[in-house]
Structure 1
Amino acid sequence: MERTPLTTLLIPNPLPPNLPCMDLVQGPRLEYLRLGVSLYEASIKRDWKAANAVLVEKPELVRYSITENGDTALHVAASAKGDPKLMVDFVNNLVGMMTNKDLELQNANYNTALYLAAAAGNVETVKIMMKRNRDLLTIIGAGETMLPLCAAALYGHYDAVKFIYKNSNLDDCCWTDQNRGWLFEICVDNDMFDIGLSIMEKQPEVANTGSTLQVLARKPKAFYIEKPHIISRFFILGTPKKETKALLLLREIWEDIVKKPKREINNILRGPPEPNNKQRKAWCVQVTRLQVLLSEHRQKLMVETNSILSRPLESSNQAIEIQNFITKYVEDLRNETQNIIQSVPLPVINQDNETFYGPAKELDNLISTHIVRIHEEIQDVIKRFQDDHDLNFELKMAIGDCVYNMDNESERIISNPRYSTYSSRVLFIAAEVGNVGFLIELLRQYPDLIWKVNDKNRTIFHIGVKHRHEDIYNLLYEIGSMKDMITPLKDHKGNNMLHLAGKIAKGNRLENATSGAALQMQRELVWFHEVESMVPPSYRYRNNEDGLTPYELFSKDHKDLVREGD
C-alpha cells in the first residue's frame, strides 16, 4: 500500500538548521586531523578515555562539528552501535559537559543527536538526553520532515517507540493530523499494534481514512484463528477466546468505519484509485462530479417543488409554476451533464478487446432518461388532476418516484464491477494472502460483504479457491444456503468456482506444502474434488469463454505435472 511520502510533511522554505560551530572542520587541516578525527574515532568506539583526552585540551569541542555534515561527537556516538554499557557511560559523560542548548544542535540534515539515537533504536541514549531536555522530542529532523518518534517507528525500534511515545504529547504544536496519521500507520505496518491502539484511543481521527485496513489486510500472521468452526464466531457467537492486539486494533477501526454511510464504507474498502491508469482516473473524476451534480439537483428539485406546492396558490397557477420550474430544471441538468461528459469524450478498449465507454456515459444516458421521464410524469399529473389536494399529493408522489428510481439506477451503474478497477480491494488483499481472521472480523459486523466481487467478478471465496486458502473456502460451510448462490457465480472469463480449482496452483501453498510432482498432483486432485462437491452439479460441466469445462481445464493445466510425476 502507498504511504504518504515523507516529503509531503516538508515545511515550505524551512529555516537553516541549528548547526554547531564549524570552525574545526573548516579551519587548518592539521588541527582537524589531530583533534577532530581523534574525537570522531573515540565517539564511534564509545572510548571515553580517548575522547576525554581531546576534550580536556579543548572542552568547547563538545559543541563543534567534527564532520562536514555538521555532526558533533554526541551525534556520532548517538547513532553508533556497540557495547550498551560503553554507550551509556560515554553519552552520560559527554552530555554532562553540554548545556541544554548544546543538545539541541542539529546537523546539516536537521537531525539532533536524540533524533539519530531514536532512528538507531538506542533507547538508553534517548533516555539520557531526554532527561536533560524534553524539548528534544519536539525538534523535527530529516530535513524538517520527521519527529524522533516517527523516525524510531519507521525503523521498527519498538522499545524506543514505546519510551518516546510514553513521554510525548501528540497534541503538541509540532504534531499535525498528517504526521499523527503517518505515525499510526507506520506503527501498524511494523507490528506495533499496542502503540497503534493507544494512538487511536487518544486520536480516533487517525483511522478515519481506512488506509490502515490495507496494512492489516496483508498481515495474516497477526490474527489468531481458532479451529475448527471458524465462522460461528463471526456471525453469531462473537469473537475468538484468544485475541491478538492486531485483532483488537482492527475491531476498533472497523467499528468506527461500519457506522458510516454505505457509500463511504465502500469507498474506504476500495481504497485510492489505481496508479498509472489515466483513463480510469478520469472516469472516477467524471463519476464523482456527476454524483455531486445529481445530488445537488435532486435536493433542488425536492426543495423547490415542496416550496411551490406549499404556497396557497390556485391549482392552475401552481401547475404553471411547477411546469416552468421543471423545464428550467431539466435544461440546467442537461447542460451541466454535457459539460462534465465532454471532459473525457473518447471510448476506451478494455483488456478483453471490448470497446465501451466509461460509467459517466451510462450516467449521462440515465440523466437523459430521467429528464424525459420527469417532464412527462409532471405533464401527465397536471392533466389528470384538478383538485388542489390531489394535485399536490400526486405531484409530490410523481417527483418522489422519479428521484427514487434515478437513485437506484445510478447506484447500479456506479457499482458495476466492469467500471471499477479496485472494487473492495481491502477484502481481496486479505483473501489473496489468506488472512481469514481479518475477513471474519469485517464480516462479523457487515455480513453482506460476502457478496462483494472484485474487478474480475470473483468473491472472496473464489479468491480462496484460486489461491488454495482452505480457511477462507471453509467459510462457505458456515453461511448456509447462501453458498448456493455464490458458488455458481462466473468471473469475467466465464469461469465458475470449479474452473478456478482446476487451474494449477503456481507458487502457492499447495506447491510449497508438498515435495515432488506426484504429491502435488495428489493435493491438487483432493482440492479439485472438494470444490466439486460444493458446486451445484449442473455447473460442473459448464464451459468458460475458452470453451472448456472445469474437468477439461484441470487436465490442460496439469498435463505437465502429470508428466513430471510419471
Structure 2
Amino acid sequence: MKEIEGLFEKDYRSIICAAITEGHQTVLHVATGAKQTSFVQQLLTFMDPEDLMLQDENGNTAFCFAAAVGAVDIANLMLKKNPSLLGIRGSKNMPPLYFAALFGQTDTASFLFHKSEKELPTEDRKVIFITSVDTGLYDLALKLLKNDRQLALTHHVKHGTALHMLARNPFPFAGRVLGIMKCSRNIELMNNQALELVKCLWKEINRQQDVDVAEVIRKPTNLLLDAAEVGNFRFLAELIGSYPDFVHELDENGRSIFHIAILNRHMNVFNLIYEQGFNKQLLATYLDSCGNNILHLAAKYRSPSPYRTVSGAALEMQRELLIYKEVEMIVQPSYREMKNYDGKTPRELFTVEHLELLRREEQWMKNRASASIIVATLVATMAFAAAFIVPGGKDDKTGLPIHLRENWFQVFAISDAIAFSCSVISVAFFLSILTSQFAEDDFLRSLPLKLLGGLSVLFVSIVFVLVAFFSTLFLAYDHGVNWIVVPSGLVSFVPTVVIALLQVPVLKDIFCSTCCPSLAM
C-alpha cells in the first residue's frame, strides 16, 4: 500500500489513466488480466468511478478483462466501485457476459448473468446462448433458455441451432474444455447439464406449433446423422426415445444412422437397437447407393482407426473383426450372402478392404515375435548356464555347491529354474506365431492370445533372472559388505521397472481386446 501511495502521491490520475501498452491498456487492464486481486483492490482506492470506464484500442474495459480471465473477485470489486460497468460494451460491441462465455469462465459467467439477466437485449441473449453451447457452458445455456424459450430456434451462422452443435460434439457432452478453464471441472456434471439442455431444446422445438420439426432436424444438416457420425450416443438415445421413426432417417447415399455408426465404428450407437427394441431385420434391408447392406458397411475398413492404442496397429484387425462379427450376429443369415452392386458378399468385401491392414499386421506380428524370441533365447541360455556354474563354486570332495544349505542359494536355484522354464515356454509361444498361417480369423483370438502368453511369460522369466542375480550378489558378498550388496541389488531391479512400464500397457491392450471385447469397443 505504501508503495502505491508513493507512486500516486503526485499527479496520480495521469498515471492511472495512461495507456502503458501498445494496445492502449491501462495499469488496471494489465493488473486485472494478471488476476492480481490484492493490487487491483489497492488500485481502486485511488480511482474515481469513471476511471474504470477507460477502454483499450479494442473497446474493452478492465471489467471485460475480468470477465475474460475469470476474475470473479475483481469483477465484484469493480462493480461496487461503478455498477454501470455491466452496461459498457467491449470488443465487437458485446457485453461483459459474452467474454466470460467465450472463454469458458463458468463462475464468472454465472456471477455476471445473475447481475445482468434482466438488462440483456434479445440479440445479446442469442449470441451468448450460442457461444455458451459452443464453449461447453451448458449451465449458462440452460439458464438463458429457461428465461427465453425462443432461443431453442436460434441459429449459428455456420453450425445451425444449438441442437445441431450438441449433436456434432466429437466427445459426447464433454464440451470444449479450454486451457483457461478450471482443471477441477466436473465432466460428469457437464454431461448431465448437456443432456438436460438437449431435453429442454427438444421439448421447446416440439412445443412450437408453427415449426416444422423435420425441417429443423434436417437443416442445415441432418443432426441425427451428424450425431451418429461422431458417436453421440446419449444424444441419439434422447431423440430416438421420443420419436422412434427417426431411425429411418437416411442420408444422400441411402444410409441410416446405424449404417453411419457402423461405418464410423461407433458400436455404442449401433447397440441402441437392442435398448430401443427396433426391428433389426428392417434396419438391415436398407441399401446405400452402392448396394451395400449394413453388414457390407461393417466390412469396410476406415483409417485411422478410432480404437488406436499404445499397441499401435497391432489390434486394429482384431477390433475390425469383432465389429464385423457383432453385426453379423444381428442380421438375418440371408444378408451374409447378399451381394452389392460390385458382386461382393460382406465377407468378400471385408477381405478386400482389409488386405493391406492384414499384411501390415502380419508383418508387425512377425517382427514382434522374432525380436521377442531372440530375447527369450538369451534368457534361456543364461539361465541354463547359471544352473551349472553356481555361485560360490562346488566342493572339490563332494561335488556339491558350497552354498547349498544357505537360504539365498535356494532363492537362486528356484528363480533360475523358473526363469529357464518361462523363457522356453515363451519361445514356444513365439514359434507358434511365426509358423501361423495368418488367416483373418487368426487375428480374432488365436494370434493375440499367443502374443499375450509369450510376452507375459517372457516378462516373468526376465524378472526371475534378476531375482537370481540379486540372490547371487548376497552369496558372493556375504562377509560384511552389505553396503555394496544392497545398493547393487536395488539397481539391478531398475530394468524390471523399465520393462514393466513398457510392456504392461501393451499387455493390457491385448488382454482387454481379447478377453473383454465389450470393454475394448
TM class, shorter-length? 0.5 to 0.7
The structural deviation recorded for 1:176 is 3.0
Flag structure 1 segments of 5+ consecutive residues without an equivalent.
1-47, 82-86, 225-241, 273-421
The structural deviation recorded for 1:514 is 7.4
Mapped pair 1:191 → 2:141: no
* Corresponding position of 1:361: none
The one of 114, 125, 140 equivalent to 1:180 is 125
The structural deviation recorded for 1:129 is 0.2
* Per-residue Cα deviation, 1:213-251 (whole angstroms, up to 9, x for no partner): 122113475559xxxxxxxxxxxxxxxxx9811111111
* Corresponding position of 2:168: 218
Rounded to whole Å, the distance in 2 between the matches of 1:461 and 1:203 is: 35
Rounded to whole Å, the distance in 2 between the matches of 1:194 and 1:537 is: 48
The structural deviation recorded for 1:261 is 5.8
* Corresponding position of 1:147: 95
Are residues 50 and 444 of structure 1, via their aligned partners in 2, closer, same or farther at CA, if it must alter by over 3 Å? same
Flag structure 2 segments of 5+ consecutive residues without an equivalent.
156-160, 175-189, 363-521
* Corresponding position of 1:507: 304
Are residues 218 and 50 of structure 1, via their aligned partners in 2, closer, same or farther at CA, if it must alter by over 3 Å? farther
The one of 269, 290, 294 equivalent to 1:497 is 294
Are residues 523 and 249 of structure 1, via their aligned partners in 2, closer, same or farther at CA, if it must alter by over 3 Å? same
Equivalent residues in 2 for 1:100-139 (5 A)?
100-139=49-88
* Per-residue Cα deviation, 1:393-424 (whole angstroms, up to 9, x for no partner): xxxxxxxxxxxxxxxxxxxxxxxxxxxxx4xx
Rounded to whole Å, the distance in 1 between the matches of 2:211 and 2:78 is: 49
What RMSD over aligned residues (CA atoms) do the two structures have, in Å?
A: 2.5
Are residues 69 and 550 of structure 1, via their aligned partners in 2, closer, same or farther at CA, if it must alter by over 3 Å? same
Rounded to whole Å, the distance in 2 between the matches of 1:263 and 1:165 is: 29
The one of 145, 158, 165 equivalent to 2:106 is 158
* Corresponding position of 1:18: none
Comparing 210-219 with 494-503, greater Cα deviation is found at: 210-219
Rounded to whole Å, the distance in 2 between the matches of 1:69 and 1:58 is: 23
3-state SS of the aligned residue for 1:250?
A: helix
Contact 1:200 1:207 in 2 (8 A): yes
TM-score, scaled to structure 1:
0.57
3-state SS of the aligned residue for 2:47?
A: coil
3-state SS of the aligned residue for 2:212?
A: helix
* Corresponding position of 1:65: 19
Mapped pair 1:204 → 2:149: yes
Counterpart of 1:542, as a letter, is M
Comparing 213-222 with 434-443, greater Cα deviation is found at: 213-222
The structural deviation recorded for 1:161 is 1.0
Mapped pair 1:56 → 2:9: yes
Rounded to whole Å, the distance in 1 between the matches of 2:89 and 2:10 is: 33
* Per-residue Cα deviation, 1:100-155 (whole angstroms, up to 9, x for no partner): 11211222221111111211222221111011212101111114x21111011101
Are residues 524 and 177 of structure 1, via their aligned partners in 2, closer, same or farther at CA, if it must alter by over 3 Å? same
Q: How many residues align?
A: 342
Mapped pair 1:245 → 2:193: yes
Counterpart of 1:442, as a letter, is L
Are residues 121 and 463 of structure 1, via their aligned partners in 2, closer, same or farther at CA, if it must alter by over 3 Å? same
* Corresponding position of 1:543: 339
Are residues 263 and 68 of structure 1, via their aligned partners in 2, closer, same or farther at CA, if it must alter by over 3 Å? closer
Counterpart of 1:564, as a letter, is R
The one of 212, 219, 235 equivalent to 1:271 is 219
Counterpart of 2:299, as a letter, is G
Rounded to whole Å, the distance in 2 between the matches of 1:132 and 1:207 is: 37
Are residues 97 and 479 of structure 1, via their aligned partners in 2, closer, same or farther at CA, if it must alter by over 3 Å? closer
Rounded to whole Å, the distance in 1 between the matches of 2:4 and 2:252 is: 64
Are residues 506 and 262 of structure 1, via their aligned partners in 2, closer, same or farther at CA, if it must alter by over 3 Å? farther
Rounded to whole Å, the distance in 1 between the matches of 2:286 and 2:348 is: 19
The structural deviation recorded for 1:68 is 5.0
Contact 1:488 1:535 in 2 (8 A): no
Counterpart of 2:81, as a letter, is R
* Corresponding position of 1:527: 323
Rounded to whole Å, the distance in 2 between the matches of 1:263 and 1:198 is: 23
Mapped pair 1:436 → 2:390: no
Are residues 262 and 544 of structure 1, via their aligned partners in 2, closer, same or farther at CA, if it must alter by over 3 Å? farther
Are residues 223 and 89 of structure 1, via their aligned partners in 2, closer, same or farther at CA, if it must alter by over 3 Å? closer
* Corresponding position of 1:96: 45
Rounded to whole Å, the distance in 2 between the matches of 1:69 and 1:118 is: 18
Rounded to whole Å, the distance in 2 between the matches of 1:262 and 1:561 is: 52
Rounded to whole Å, the distance in 2 between the matches of 1:508 and 1:263 is: 40
Percent identity of paired positions between Structure 1 and Structure 2: 38
Rounded to whole Å, the distance in 1 between the matches of 2:272 and 2:225 is: 15
Counterpart of 2:153, as a letter, is N
Rounded to whole Å, the distance in 2 between the matches of 1:526 and 1:68 is: 60
Counterpart of 2:77, as a letter, is I
Are residues 142 and 223 of structure 1, via their aligned partners in 2, closer, same or farther at CA, if it must alter by over 3 Å? closer
* Corresponding position of 2:272: 475
Rounded to whole Å, the distance in 1 between the matches of 2:20 and 2:210 is: 59
Are residues 75 and 522 of structure 1, via their aligned partners in 2, closer, same or farther at CA, if it must alter by over 3 Å? closer
* Per-residue Cα deviation, 1:265-318 (whole angstroms, up to 9, x for no partner): 12211233xxxxxxxxxxxxxxxxxxxxxxxxxxxxxxxxxxxxxxxxxxxxxx
Are residues 222 and 552 of structure 1, via their aligned partners in 2, closer, same or farther at CA, if it must alter by over 3 Å? closer
Counterpart of 1:465, as a letter, is I
- Higher RCO (C-alpha 8 Å, min separation 6): 1
Rounded to whole Å, the distance in 1 between the matches of 2:169 and 2:325 is: 30
Are residues 98 and 203 of structure 1, via their aligned partners in 2, closer, same or farther at CA, if it must alter by over 3 Å? same
Are residues 523 and 76 of structure 1, via their aligned partners in 2, closer, same or farther at CA, if it must alter by over 3 Å? closer
TM-score, scaled to structure 2:
0.61
Counterpart of 2:243, as a letter, is Y
The one of 257, 266, 270 equivalent to 2:205 is 257
Rounded to whole Å, the distance in 2 between the matches of 1:155 and 1:554 is: 46
3-state SS of the aligned residue for 2:145?
A: helix
The structural deviation recorded for 1:428 is 1.5
Rounded to whole Å, the distance in 2 between the matches of 1:489 and 1:497 is: 7
Contact 2:255 2:288 in 1 (8 A): yes
* Per-residue Cα deviation, 1:314-355 (whole angstroms, up to 9, x for no partner): xxxxxxxxxxxxxxxxxxxxxxxxxxxxxxxxxxxxxxxxxx
* Corresponding position of 2:252: 455
Are residues 164 and 565 of structure 1, via their aligned partners in 2, closer, same or farther at CA, if it must alter by over 3 Å? same
Rounded to whole Å, the distance in 2 between the matches of 1:124 and 1:267 is: 45
Contact 2:241 2:276 in 1 (8 A): no
The structural deviation recorded for 1:480 is 4.1
Contact 1:464 1:472 in 2 (8 A): yes
Mapped pair 1:562 → 2:358: yes
3-state SS of the aligned residue for 1:528?
A: helix
Rounded to whole Å, the distance in 2 between the matches of 1:95 and 1:157 is: 23
Equivalent residues in 2 for 1:392-411 (5 A)?
none
Rounded to whole Å, the distance in 2 between the matches of 1:491 and 1:537 is: 19
Are residues 140 and 437 of structure 1, via their aligned partners in 2, closer, same or farther at CA, if it must alter by over 3 Å? same
Rounded to whole Å, the distance in 2 between the matches of 1:431 and 1:162 is: 32
The structural deviation recorded for 1:455 is 2.1
The one of 55, 64, 76 equivalent to 2:30 is 76
The structural deviation recorded for 1:542 is 2.6
3-state SS of the aligned residue for 1:98?
A: coil
